[in-house]
Amino acid sequence: MSSTELALKDITSSIEGVIGVALVDYNSGMALGTLGGGADLDLNVAAAANTDVVRAKVRAIELLNLKSAIDDILITLTDQYHLIRPLTSRGGKGLFLYLALDRNRANLAMARHQLRRIEADLEV
């Protein structure tokens, strides 16, 4: 089993309220791995669409000449949280984790903490 598969399984088992998770290449918009989702959340479509979100924020940071990097991007919907976390490891450059959570079941602070932990151990 690959490191990606293990990380995605770790995310779904250690974070409460996971609807779906994907590892995404934001250069191509392709999901390199997905787990969960379903009829209400097509993770491949979400991966491509959220690639535009990441690109827009990276561009904004560059235009503003900020000397900072994205830790994560949070999108809050009425019934869900969508969390985007760019990978910071050398091998993970150009990749991000996308996590959709049920807002009624998830603890956002714990989800962010667990996602950081899993991302630190992920080797791509």
- Domain boundaries of the chain, sorted by first residue: 3-121
Q: Give the integer Cα–Cα distance in Å for 27 and 117.
A: 24
What is the pLDDT averaged over residues 74-102?
A: 89
pTM of the entire structure?
0.91
Residue 27 CB contacts under 8 Å (≥ 6 apart), including other chains: 94
What is the pLDDT averaged over residues 8-13?
A: 92
- Assign domain 3-121 to a CATH class: alpha beta
Whether 35 shows a pLDDT value over 70: the answer reads: yes
